[in-house]
C-alpha cells in the first residue's frame, strides 16, 4: 500500500496539465529567479504542498489551456498568473484528493474494489500504514494530496530539464525510473505467490477435511490404521503451520521496513519506491518456500 501510494497522480487531466505548467513556470522561477527557497529545501521538504503554494508570483504566468474549472473571467484569458493558478490548484486538489474526488475514487477502486465499504477501508489502512512506518498523523486525503504534489513536481522538473537541455539530469531520472520498473516487475512474481499460496492452503485443507470419512474406513483395517492416521495428522499439521509462518514472515518484513524507513520527501521518493518494492519481492520469494519449510518442520 505504501509502495502504490508513492505513485499517486491526479486522475484529473486538467489538474495534471496545469500543475506541470505551474512547476515549470512558477516553482522553478521561485527557485532560480526570486530565490524564495532553494531546490535542496524543496527536495527535502516534508510538506512541499505548502512550500510551493506559499508565495506564488503575481507577475509570472502559465498558459490557459481552456481549463473548464477556472472562473468565467479567467477562462477568457490566454494566460493566468502564478498566484491565480496556485489558488485554483489548491482548491481543485483539495476536492480531488478528498473522499468522492476523482483521484480518491480511482485509487479506492484500484486497491479495494469489490470489498464492502472500500472508502472506509482505504482511509483507515492508508492512514494506519503511514502512522506505523513513519509516525505520521496525516489522513488518507492529506497523504494523497502530498504524494500527488511530489509526483507532479518530479514530472515538472523532468520536463523543465528536457526543455533546458539538461541531458545529465534526464539520464539520471530515466535510469532511476527504469530501475523502479524493473523491481516492480520482479515484485509481480511475489504478488502471484502471495495470492496463490493462501488459496492453495484453503483448498488443500478443504480436501483434507472432505476425505476424512474415507480415512475412517481405511483405518478399519488393522495394518493400515497407524500409518493412515499418522499421515493424516502430519498433513493437517503441515497445512495449519502455513498461516503461522506467514505471520512470522509478515512481522519480520514490516519490522525491517519500519526500522529502515526514509522520510517521504521529494529527494527520497525513488528510494522509498525501490525499498518497498524490494521488500515485496523478497517476501514473495520467501513465501514460496513456506510449504516445503513447514513440511520439513513437521517431519522433523
Q: What is the pLDDT of residues 2-20, one digit of tens each?
A: 878 888 989 998 899 999 9
**Domain identity same for 13 and 51:** yes
User: Do 5 and 41 contact (CB within 8 A), yes or no?
Assistant: no
- Looking at residue 123, its pLDDT comes to 92
Q: What is the mean pLDDT of residues 269-285?
A: 74
Query: What digits encode the pLDDT tens for the residues 132-165?
Result: 888 888 899 999 999 999 989 988 887 776 666 5
Q: Is residue 161 part of a domain?
A: yes
- Looking at residue 90, its pLDDT comes to 92
Position 170 confidence tier, pLDDT thresholds 50, 70, 90:
very low
Q: What is the mean pLDDT of residues 190-216?
A: 83
Q: Is residue 89 part of a domain?
A: yes
Residue linked to cell 510538506:
47
DSSP letters for 221-256 = SHHHHHHHHHHHHHHHHHHHHHHHHHHHHHHHHHHH
User: Do 162 and 28 contact (CB within 8 A), yes or no?
Assistant: no
Position 124 confidence tier, pLDDT thresholds 50, 70, 90:
very high
Q: What is the mean pLDDT of residues 26-42?
A: 90
- Looking at residue 104, its pLDDT comes to 94
Helix, strand, coil shares of the chain, percent, nearest 5, are 75, 0, 25
Domain assignment of residue 160, given as a range: 2-165
**Domain identity same for 211 and 161:** no
**Domain identity same for 187 and 51:** no
Q: What is the mean pLDDT of the chain?
A: 82
**Domain identity same for 203 and 294:** yes
- Looking at residue 94, its pLDDT comes to 92
**Domain identity same for 157 and 186:** no
**Domain identity same for 153 and 192:** no
The last residue of one of the domains, among 101, 134, 165, is 165
- Looking at residue 180, its pLDDT comes to 55
Q: Is residue 170 part of a domain?
A: no
Q: What Rg, from alpha-carbon coordinates, does the chain have? A: 26
Q: Higher-confidence residue: 263 or 83? A: 83
**Domain identity same for 146 and 182:** no
Q: Higher-confidence residue: 298 or 273? A: 298
**Domain identity same for 289 and 196:** yes
**Domain identity same for 128 and 245:** no
Q: Nearest-CA neighbor of 151 among 49, 258, 33?
A: 49
Q: Higher-confidence residue: 41 or 280? A: 41
Query: What digits encode the pLDDT tens for the residues 173-183?
Result: 544 555 555 55
Q: Is residue 171 part of a domain?
A: no
**Domain identity same for 293 and 256:** yes
d(CA 73, CA 266): 35
**Domain identity same for 156 and 270:** no
Q: Is residue 172 part of a domain?
A: no
> Interior CA angle at 80 toward 79 and 84, to 5°?
175
This model's pTM is above 0.85: no
d(CA 217, CA 225): 9
Residue 298 CA neighbour count, 13 Å, CB half: 21
Q: What is the mean pLDDT of residues 44-49?
A: 89
Position 89 confidence tier, pLDDT thresholds 50, 70, 90:
very high
Phi, psi of 187 (to 5 degrees): -65, -25
- Residue 185 pLDDT more than 70? no
Q: Is residue 61 part of a domain?
A: yes
- Looking at residue 73, its pLDDT comes to 80
- Looking at residue 171, its pLDDT comes to 47
The number of distinct structural domains making up the chain is 2
**Domain identity same for 181 and 135:** no
The last residue of one of the domains, among 165, 192, 223, is 165
Amino acid at each position: 500500500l505504501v509502495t502504490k501510494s508513492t505513485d499517486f497522480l491526479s486522475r484529473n487531466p486538467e489538474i495534471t496539465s496545469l500543475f506541470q505548467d505551474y512547476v515549470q513556470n512558477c516553482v522553478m522561477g521561485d527557485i532560480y529567479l526570486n530565490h524564495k527557497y532553494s531546490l535542496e529545501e524543496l527536495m527535502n521538504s516534508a510538506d512541499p504542498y505548502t512550500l510551493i503554494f506559499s508565495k506564488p508570483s503575481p507577475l509570472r504566468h502559465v498558459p490557459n489551456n481552456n481549463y473548464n474549472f477556472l472562473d468565467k473571467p479567467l477562462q477568457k484569458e490566454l494566460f493566468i498568473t502564478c498566484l491565480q493558478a496556485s489558488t485554483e490548484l489548491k482548491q481543485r486538489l483539495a476536492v480531488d484528493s478528498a473522499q468522492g474526488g476523482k483521484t480518491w475514487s480511482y485509487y479506492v477502486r484500484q486497491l479495494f474494489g469489490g470489498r464492502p465499504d472500500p472508502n472506509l477501508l482505504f482511509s483507515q489502512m492508508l492512514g494506519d500504514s503511514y502512522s506505523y512506518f513513519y509516525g505520521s498523523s496525516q489522513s488518507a486525503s492529506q497523504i494523497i494530496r502530498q504524494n500527488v504534489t511530489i509526483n507532479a513536481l518530479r514530472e515538472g522538473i523532468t520536463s523543465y530539464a528536457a526543455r533546458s537541455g539538461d541531458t545529465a539530469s534526464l539520464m539520471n531520472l530515466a535510469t532511476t525510473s527504469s530501475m523502479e520498473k524493473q523491481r516492480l516487475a520482479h515484485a509481480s512474481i511475489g504478488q502471484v505467490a502471495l495470492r496463490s499460496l493462501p488459496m492453495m492452503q484453503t483448498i488443500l485443507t478443504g480436501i483434507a477435511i472432505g476425505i476424512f470419512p474415507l480415512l475412517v474406513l481405511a483405518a478399519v483395517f488393522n495394518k493400515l490404521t497407524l500409518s493412515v492416521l499418522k499421515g493424516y495428522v502430519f498433513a493437517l499439521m503441515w497445512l495449519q503451520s502455513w498461516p503461522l509462518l506467514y505471520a512470522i514472515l509478515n512481522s519480520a518484513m514490516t519490522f525491517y521496513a519500519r526500522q529502515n524507513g526514509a522520510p517521504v520527501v521529494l529527494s527520497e521518493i525513488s528510494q522509498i519506491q525501490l525499498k518497498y518494492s524490494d521488500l515485496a519481492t523478497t517476501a514473495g520469494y520467501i513465501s514460496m518456500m513456506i510449504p516445503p519449510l513447514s513440511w520439513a518442520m513437521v517431519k522433523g
